[in-house]
């Protein structure tokens, strides 16, 4: 079981309106579309929107406008339909996946923390207050019997290990495990509507 405890404002996007494009970095949507018996209840416009959401998002101030134009509806209606499909369970998750290397991140690692019992919220809030921390989850049962907090740390300047060494004392934790990324694989979502 995992629980997201990333509490810092602006670090968690929960709706399409919250998508913010940074510079001209190309981002990829990470959309999970649930194919169920009810999917046949979707009309052609909804199917077209889902098909468009399976590809790259435009890096503009209005990334849903091109989808709206091809559907012959307003951008506002595209967003309403996405919200409605999410509420109906056709879209389980809507979020952006940053191609961090193109955004200037030189190092990243998953860091596991042995947070003292009952301290996950406090430590999670401290972790989330740092820009370098992009994800923070509490995991039960603990990995290795002691590591309950998992955080993804991405650094633009200097090695992750140096950042973690300075961060650990502020958290009151001296037991942590750094899992460096050895290889980056292609980030691509499943395509359910590509052949329609």
User: 167 Cβ partners below 8 Å, 6+ apart?
Assistant: 127, 130
Buried b (16+ CB within 10 A) or exposed e, 127-165: bbeeebbbbbbbeeeeeeeebbbbbbbbbeeeebeebbe
- Sign (positive or negative) of CA dihedral 5, 10, 14, 19: negative
Shared-domain flag, residues 88 and 110? no
Does 63 reside within a domain? yes
Shared-domain flag, residues 56 and 31? yes
Long-range contacts of 80-84 (CB under 8 A, 24+ apart): 81/45, 81/46, 81/49, 82/16, 82/49, 82/53, 83/15, 83/16
Shared-domain flag, residues 84 and 106? no
Buried b (16+ CB within 10 A) or exposed e, 5-16: bbebeeeeeeeb
Does 193 reside within a domain? no
Shared-domain flag, residues 65 and 119? no
Tabulate helix, strand, coil % of the chain (nearest 5). 30, 25, 45
pLDDT in tens, the chain (196 residues): 444 444 333 333 333 333 333 333 344 444 555 555 566 778 889 988 888 887 777 777 888 899 999 999 999 999 999 888 888 888 877 766 666 666 667 788 899 999 998 898 899 889 988 988 888 888 888 899 999 999 988 887 878 899 999 999 999 999 999 998 766 666 555 566 655 5
What pLDDT sits at residue 147?
94
Question: pTM (2 decimals)?
Answer: 0.56
> Domain holding 65: CATH number?
1.10.10.2890
> Domain holding 157: CATH number?
3.30.70.920
Does 86 reside within a domain? yes
Which residues form the domain of 90? 26-98
Does 188 reside within a domain? no
């Amino acid at each position: 079981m995992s629980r997201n405890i990333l509490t810092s404002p602006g670090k968690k996007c929960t709706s399409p309106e919250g998508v913010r494009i940074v510079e001209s970095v190309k981002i990829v949507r990470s959309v999970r579309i649930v194919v169920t018996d009810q999917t046949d209840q979707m009309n052609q416009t909804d199917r077209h929107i889902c098909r468009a959401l399976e590809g790259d998002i435009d890096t503009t101030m209005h990334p849903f406008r091109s989808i709206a134009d091809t559907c012959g509806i307003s951008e506002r209606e595209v967003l309403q339909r996405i919200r409605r499909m999410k509420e109906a369970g056709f879209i389980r998750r809507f979020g952006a996946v940053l191609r961090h290397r193109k955004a200037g991140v030189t190092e990243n690692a998953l860091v596991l923390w042995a947070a003292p019992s009952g301290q996950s919220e406090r430590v999670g809030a401290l972790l989330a207050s740092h820009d370098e921390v992009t994800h923070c989850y509490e995991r039960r049962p603990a990995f290795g019997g002691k590591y309950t907090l998992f955080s993804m740390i991405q650094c633009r300047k200097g090695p992750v290990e140096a950042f973690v060494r300075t961060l650990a004392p502020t958290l009151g934790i001296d037991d942590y495990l750094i899992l460096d990324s050895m290889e980056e694989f292609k980030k691509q979502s499943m395509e359910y509507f590509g052949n329609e």
